[in-house]
Structures are given as structure tokens and as C-alpha cells.
Structure 1
Amino acid sequence: SPSTFYELKLSQNNQKMSSYLYEDPYRVPDYLVRVNMDTSKGVFESYILDPTTDEGQKELERVKVNRISYDYVVDPENPEGYVHPDWQKAPTSYSFRNVGMDMNHMYRNSRYWVGKFDLTSQIHRSHQVKTGFELRLHDLDYESFTIRPKTVEGEEVTPFQPDVLSTSTRYHDLYNRTPKEFSAYLQDKLEFKNLIVNLGLRFDYFDPQTVQIADPTDPDIYYPYRNSHRYRNWIDPPDTLTFKELEQYISQFEEYTPDERRAFMHKEVEAKMQISPRLGISFPITDQGVIHFSYGHFFQIPEFEYLYATPDFKHGAGAGRYLFGNPDLNAQKTVMYEIGLQQQLSHTVGMDFSVFYRDVRDWVGASPMIQAYLPNVQYSQYANKDYSNVYGFTLKMQRRYSDHFSANLDYSFQIAEGTYSQPTDAFYALQSNEEPRLNLIPLNWDQRHTLNARVVYSLSGWTCSLIGQLWSGRPYTPTFPTGEARGEASFSGLQENMSRKSRWEMVDLTVNRRFQISKYYLDLYMNVYNLFDIQNELAVYSDTGTARYTSTINPDKIPYDPLRIGTIDELVKQSGWYNSPRQIQVGMALGF
């Protein structure tokens, strides 16, 4: 009917991402052998031989028989390939590394289908009803591994050969997950003479489609600690058996396969759901001003990384403390409040002022350490145990395009506080045997002042725009400069995120000239990013609060070392701790 219409959408999204140094994880460079000088063995000068030739192989055998010192070195004619991780170490103190090589491979393929239906009906002059639903079906493929040195009977192969370990180890993760999301909503917009009310209700459903640990004391299906999880039909032996008798007793039992253990060492995770009310009210106070208020509950699914990290909950056979994903995480629940004023100040200028507050419960943190069956193994899982809130105000000023120019000015003041900024922060605190934090601290992204401005001027086919940013610094955790605090018993009193980095300043310029050519147009443009070539610090040394220097390294007091790669001054300068320098882009575009 004329007062009712609907919209149906179906879409598919596919994102692939990969990260590696060499596509072939088994790629290695060619190696030469450097025989070291040893006058006691008749070697008065070091020399290089090629072990791939018959002559070189014979010489290498002679060197081995005579126990002459030698090293494998990369052939400069064919240096491409993975080398031993030890080669990445610095040869001495205050030095750059010998090589920079990422030994990790990561492959991620995220696909999802989305079906969405929306229905809008003007059932009455003052009632507009909207309803609809959305179904999202995910298909996540993930693989990551760290290249390790190949071993034979416990001994590393030389020269170095890369190896990709099995998925039973912590060095290789592989999984496929198919989580499902569903949401439905109902909204009624009531319009009266001096009042507009939006009433809404939303239902959210999420099924992670995966499993959780059944016995918290024995999580790993590849290395179970309990014999009842390792062997079929296990019966506890008498306590009087000797070690040899116990070995003989165990040998009569057959081990489960890892896939068989999944059936009883894992359990299904239940779906999560929530009903969220929403309310919005606006009413005019003058013919040019409107006050608006909104309140709502929001259901936010945790990042998939926190749900599916460390598939199969592997800790291996060794002792340690580990952090596992938690597929049974609840959704983060946010309650938002906002009240504001929209006011027209002139024919071309308007403003919008809003005060807001966001309360976030079930903020993802890390659980207390869980004791495994063996006393030297503990682990933690991501858990809904932390809290955060954000509050402040925003002021937006806008000048509509008139007399050849327009302008926007946005300012916001906000305070973002919480127990921990990241779930890993809580885990590292547990690693240090710290008590769980109960007080609120500034979060890593607590940027108190944010000012953005944009001015656009157009005339005779020319368009010029300037975008400026002025942001206050984000927090960091300070430490005392070297020499000011020493000893385990000294209490610093320096709280986490109690200091601030320098402010951020940035100006970008865009210039465009348009030419009309028949039914086509040609744009010539120039973009200048960081117009004034400002160096903003992205990270700082905790003892000085700047990226320029640190008190922990004094070049004048460090003796020269011929093995050192680079200078100490170069080492202190962290180029990655600054934003990009000025960039200029020039181009053209043709359209019609």
C-alpha cells in the first residue's frame, strides 16, 4: 500500500588476509662454510668453501674429522630464505640485530552471508512503525604457525632447515568456525505537535558454534594429564606398584586419539541472547532549536579473537602459564544516555551540543589463574569480569556552503575509564601475582580533548580544503629515570596511565581543479598530508615521556664494541614512534 513498504537485501562478503615473509615456509638460502682460523690445526687463515660441490664436500669432511671450528654462512649470491631464529639476536649490547626476519605465517579467510528485511508502515498520522530482522552466517578459516628449526632425534639439523610443527603444538593453530548472528527489532515513531518519541525494542542472538573445556583441570586433548582422559577403560592401579610395575601396568591400556577425546573433554557452548530497549525523545523549544534525549541498551559480541584464540586449548607438555580464548564469553552490555540541543544560529550556521554517558558491563578481561591437574601448569581464559565507562560532551558547529565557502568545527571532551584497557593487561597482572584491580584508571585511548576543523573554499572550478586536528595526548605509564629508584622494596607510587604523551597536531591540504569537456569532466588534484611536516610522537620512553631520548641509555658511558651494528644514537631514535612525514600526492581523474 502507499503507506507501507519493505526492503529485502541479501549480500555476501569475503575478506582474505595473509601475512608472511616468504610464501614457501621451507625456503632457505644457499649456505657456504667458513672455516675459522686455528693455528693448532694448521689453519693460519679463515677461508670459505662451497659444500654443494664435490671438492667442497670432501674438504668439509676433512674439517669435521680434524675437529676444526667452522660456521655456516649465507651465500650472498642466493640469500633469500629463512635462517635460524638465533641469527636475529643482536651480536652485542646496545646493537641492532643481525637480521630482521618474521618467522610467523598467518592466513585468515572471513566470509559471511547477510539477509536483511525491513518493513515500514505509516499506520496512523502520528504513528510510523518499523520492524525487521537480520541474519548473519559467518564462515571463519584461520591458520597461523611459527617456523621452528627442524630436529632429528632431538638434535637440530645443520645448516638450519625450517619446519612447520603439527597442530598438536602451540606453534601451529588451525580452525574453522561458523558462528551465527540473528537480530530483530520493533520501533514505533510517535509524532505529535511539539514532541517526537521513538520507542524501540531489539532482540539479539549469537551462537558461537564451538566448544568449551569440560574439565577445567585438564584442557589439552593432545597432552591430557589425567590417565582417565589418556587411556581407554582406565582403572587406577594399586598404590603399592613400583615404577617399573607401573609402566608395565599402563602399557596394557590403549590411548585415545585426540579426536576421540574431543567427545568428552569438550562440551558445547550455549547461545547468548538479549532484549534491549531503546528510547528517543525530541521536542522544539523555539522555531530554531530542538532538545533531544536518547537512552538505549546495546548488545556487543566480543571480538572473535577472544572467542577462538588457542583452539583446542593447547598448553603442551611443559610447565607454564597460558592465556586461552573463551568461546563462552557473554556479549558486552552497554547502556548509553545522551541529551543535547540542536540550534540554528543564523541562516547558514547551526550548532549541536550533546552530553553523553556510556556504561559498559561484561568488559572482556582475564579470569583468575586456573590450576591444572599438574601443579606446575596454570592457565587463564578471557572472561567478562571488567568494567569501563565513557562520559563527556561534544560541540559541533557547521556553516553551510554559501559565498564560496563552508566550514565545520567539532570539539569533544571525554573521559574513558576502566579496570583494564586490554584483556592481556589483566593477564600480565596475574603473571606478576598482582591483585585484581578494583579502581578505575584512564584507558589507553582516553583522549580528553579532540578538536577537528575543516574549511572548504570553491571558486571558478577550483576547490581548496584544509583539515586541521588538535588532540590532547593519550595516557602512558611512567617510570622513574635511571638512578632515582632502586631495589625491590622501593615503592614508586606511579600508577598505570597517570601521565600524558604530547598533543597531536596535524593539517592536511587538498586542492582540486575541475575542467568540463563536453559531457565529461577532468579533475586535477593535489593532496598534501601533514602540510607542515609536524613530528607527532606515537609512543614514548616511559622514563622521559618523549621518544627523543631515555635515561636508561647514555651513549657517552657505553664503550665502543666492534661487534655493534649501528650506533647507540641510532638505536635510541625510534622512527616507528613518530607519525609519517609530509606526503604529497598529485593525480587526475576522468568522469562523466
Structure 2
Amino acid sequence: EGRFFTTGDYRYWMYLHNRDYQGRFDIIHSVGKVHEFKTGLDFTQYNMQNANNNLPFDANPFWEYYDRTPYKIAYYIQDKMDFEGLIARLGVRVDYFDAKAYTFAEPENFMNDTIIESEPNYTISPRLGFSLPVTDRMKLRFNYGHYFQIPAFDDMYTTNDTGVIRLAILRGNTQVGNINLKPQKTVMYELGIENQLTDVFAVGFTAFFKDVYDLTQLRVVPAIPLSYYMFFNVDYGSIKGFELNIQKRMSDMWAFGINYTLQLAKGTAASATEWYYDHYHWDIDVPVIDYWLDFDERHTL
């Protein structure tokens, strides 16, 4: 039997205030006719305040609060080399991220007041690409690179402030952020070919493959008096497919373009809370294997 709520307030209260400061500079310098060097640095300072109450009418609600100021710094250098048609790009990017957070070493142990600090994270991302003319109308290209993305801030900071974490754990069914999550890592390969069929018609084909590591997922942390859930880097995904496009330039008063993409996305989970809902709400243990993900959009036209 179902029913609709026609009166009353929504059970959720939230206050969010975010302010970011960003700065960057880039330098480009050519050496002869072959080399073009690029280098740059960018900096982002985040200022975040988050307060919310998910059960305000309860004596011990789902209360969350954090006030954090993480920052990230990135440096890159790239050499673009032009060998009379063959163009190669070789580069590397270095990222530094500091979550700037503190929490209890053992939040479930009320006898241990040891405070731990988040550990800064360094990542190095190599990049390689080249473009090779096969004929005067056909070009082959290849790209390879590592890419890193810092975790969602909620996955790091939710409910782990020293002022609220112990009360939250006593509430039960609590999700706790992990201040030492690693960045999500993507390794990408891409191979493409472009062919100018006529003066107005062109066709392009690109095959791609991505491995995604260190995706976040909730896992249960056994504790006394009550267990809780924390985010960890435990999931993996892979995405592969190809893209085909046909273009006609404007001529005789008409033009068109068509693009078709085939994509296959598999992995161990489609979201950071999937295991939690399977385990807590449905009381089932799904095997940790690759399966088709929710965002597996097989055909796009």
C-alpha cells in the first residue's frame, strides 16, 4: 500500500558555501623549426563549508559538518616536434594534492584520542602522441596518456570531522569519508585515421580504450559498538569502443555530418555507493567481478 505526503517539511536541511581561488601561467618557446616547448603551472585553493542534517526531528540525527581548505598544484612540460609532416608530442604532468584534513585515528575507539593528518598525494602522468601523414589525403594519429582526478570531496570529508564523527557512528548506518583516498587513475589509448575522400567529403575513425583504477566505493568497517561504512579505492572500470564520423563541407548550398559511437563499459561498480545499497538495504553480496555498468551507452548516433 502506498500513500502520498501532502503536508509537512522535507526531512533534509543543508548549508553549502564554496569559494575557489585559481591561478595559472603558461610559457611557449620555439627552438628552431622542429621543437616547440610548452610548460606551465596551475594552482587551485578550495574553501568549502558544508553543514547538513538529514534527520532533524531525531534526537541523534544524521548530522554532518566540515570546513576544509584543500589545494592542488600541477606542473607540466611538453615538447611538440615537427619532422616535416610527422608531428610528435612528448610530455609529462606532475600533480600535488593536499586534503588539509584531520580526523581520529580510531574513531570507534573512545579511549584513543590520537589525531591523524591527511597525507599529501603526488602523481606523475606521462603523455605521448603523434600524427603521421600516410598520403596527401590520409593521416594516422595515436595518443597515449595517464590522467588523474582527485576524489569527490564528499567521499573524503563526509562525517569525519572530529566534532561529529563519534556521534555519527553511534547513530548507526553511517557513511564516513576517507581523507587519504588516492586520485582516480585513467590510462588511455587512442588510435585514429582521417581520410579526405574528395574535396568536400571526409571520413574519420577512432578506436579508444580506457582503464580506470582506484574508483571509490563504500566498505563496512567492523567496530564496537556499531560498525560504519567508509570510502576506499577498491573499484575498477574499463571502457572501449570506436567512433565513426562522416562530414561534408558546405557546397552546392548543403552540408551534413553524421557521427556514430560504439562503447562498451564494464567494471566492478557503477557508483561509489552501489555496494552499500546492495549490502545494507537489500542484504545481498554481489560478487566483485566485471559487469556492464549503468552508464554503458552502447550505441550513440
Alignment TM-score, normalising by the size of structure 1 = 0.48
More strand by share: 2
Q: 1:305 — aligned with what?
A: 154
**Would you say 1:285 and 2:134 are equivalent positions?**
yes
Q: Computing the radius of gyration over CA atoms, which structure comes out larger, 1 or 2?
A: 1
Question: Could you tell me which amino acid in structure 2 is paired with residue 274 of structure 1?
Answer: T
Q: Structure 2 matches for 1:365-404, cutoff 5 A?
A: 365-367=217-219, 369-374=220-225, 377-404=226-253
Contact 2:65 2:158 in 1 (8 A): no
User: Does 1:209 find its partner at 2:100?
Assistant: yes
**1:211-226 alignment, distance < 5 Å:** 211-215=102-106, 217-218=108-109, 226=110
The structural deviation recorded for 1:403 is: 3.3
Asked if residue 444 in structure 1 is aligned to residue 294 in structure 2, the reply is: yes
Quote the Cα distance in structure 2 between the aligned partners of 1:210 and 1:317: 19
2:117 and 2:275 mapped to 1: Cα distance?
Answer: 27
After superposing the two structures, state which structure 1 stretch, 419-428 or 309-318, moved more: 309-318
Q: Which residue of 1 aligns with 2:50?
A: 142
Q: Distance in 1 between matches of 2:224 and 2:21?
A: 42
Equivalent positions of 1:147-158 (< 5 A) are: 148-149=56-57
Separation (CA, whole Å) in 1 of partners of 2:41 and 2:28: 12
Amino acid at match of 2:82: E
Query: 1:307, 1:200 → 2: CA distance?
Result: 30
- Give the Cα separation in 2 of the matches to 1:305 and 1:320: 19
Distance 1:440 1:406, change over 3 A: same
- Alpha-carbon spacing, 1:317–1:195, altered in 2? closer, same or farther (3 Å): closer
The answer on whether the counterparts of 2:54 and 2:61 sit within 8 Å (CA) in structure 1 is no
Percent identity over the alignment is 34
Q: 1:109 to 1:406 in 2, by over 3 A?
A: farther
Give, in whole Å, the separation in 2 of the partners of 1:335 and 1:416.
14
CA–CA distance in structure 2, aligned partners of residues 286 and 438 of structure 1? 48
**Residue 183 of structure 1 corresponds to which residue in structure 2?**
74
The RMSD of aligned alpha carbons is: 2.1
Deviation at 1:434, TM superposition (A): 4.3
What residue number does 1:115 align with?
A: 23
Conserved 8 A contact 2:45-2:70: yes
Task: For residue 289 of structure 1, report the CA deviation from its aligned partner.
Answer: 1.0
1:364 aligns with 2:255: no
Report the Cα offset of residue 430 of structure 1: 3.3
Distance in 2, matches of 1:170 and 1:123, equals 64
Task: Map Cα deviations across residues 184-219 of structure 1 (whole Å, 9 max, x no partner).
Answer: 00100111124111001000111111124301543x
Change in Cα spacing, 1:434 to 1:147, as seen in structure 2 (3 Å) is closer
Alignment correspondent of 2:203: 351
Q: Deviations over 1:291-331 (max 9, x none)?
A: 00000001111111211112423454746332211111000
Whole-Å Cα distance in 2 between the matches of residues 364 and 212 of structure 1?
19
The Cα shift of 1:342 comes to 1.1
User: What aligned pairs does 1:468-479 form with structure 2 within 5 A after superposition?
Assistant: none
SS in structure 2 of the partner of residue 430 of structure 1: helix
Distance 1:402 1:329 in 2: 54
Instruction: Say which SS state the counterpart of residue 445 (structure 1) adopts.
Output: coil
Given that 2:65 and 2:159 are in contact with CA atoms closer than 8 Å, whether structure 1 keeps it comes out as: no
Amino acid at match of 2:7: V
Structure 2 Cα separation of the partners of residues 145 and 320 of structure 1: 15
Q: Counterparts of 1:149 and 1:438 in 2: how far apart (Å)?
A: 38
Contact 1:354 1:393 in 2 (8 A): yes
CA contact (8 A) 1:178 1:209 kept: yes
Give CA-to-partner distance per residue, 1:125-164, whole Å, 9 cap, x none.
Answer: 11111001101111112222246349xxxxxxxxxxxxxx
Equivalent residue of 2:134, what SS?
Answer: strand
CA offset at residue 372 of structure 1? 1.6
Q: Which amino acid aligns with 1:178?
A: T
TM-score by length of 2: 0.91
- Cα pair 1:355 1:394 within 8 Å, conserved: yes
Match of 1:408 among 257, 260, 263: 257
Contact 1:315 1:322 in 2 (8 A): no
Residue 116 (structure 2) aligned to one of 247, 255, 267: 267
The question of whether the paired residues in 2 share the 8 Å contact of 1:288 and 1:344 is answered with yes
Q: 1:181 and 1:316, CA in 2 relative to 1: closer, same or farther beyond 3 A?
A: closer
What secondary structure is seen at the aligned counterpart in 1 of 2:273? helix
> How many angstroms does 1:106 deviate by?
1.9
1:436 positional shift:
6.0
Which is helix-richer, 1 or 2? 1
Aligned residue runs from structure 1 range 504-519, under 5 A? none
2:275 to 418, 426, 438: 426
Relative contact order higher in (CA < 8 Å, ≥ 6 apart): 2
SS at match of 1:423: coil
- SS of aligned partner of 2:227: strand
Aligned residue number for residue 180 of structure 2: 328
Cα 1:433–1:193, aligned 2, differ >3 Å: closer, same or farther?
Answer: same
1:452-506 deviation per Cα after TM superposition (whole angstroms, max 9, x unaligned): xxxxxxxxxxxxxxxxxxxxxxxxxxxxxxxxxxxxxxxxxxxxxxxxxxxxxxx
Tell me if the contact between 1:144 and 1:174 (Cα under 8 Å) persists in the aligned partners.
yes
1: CA distance between counterparts of 2:260 and 2:23?
Answer: 38
Question: Aligned residues, how many?
Answer: 297
Structure 1, unaligned stretches of length 5 or more? 1-92, 151-164, 219-225, 230-263, 452-592
Partners of 1:114 and 1:137 within 8 A in 2: yes
- Post-superposition offset of 1:271: 0.6
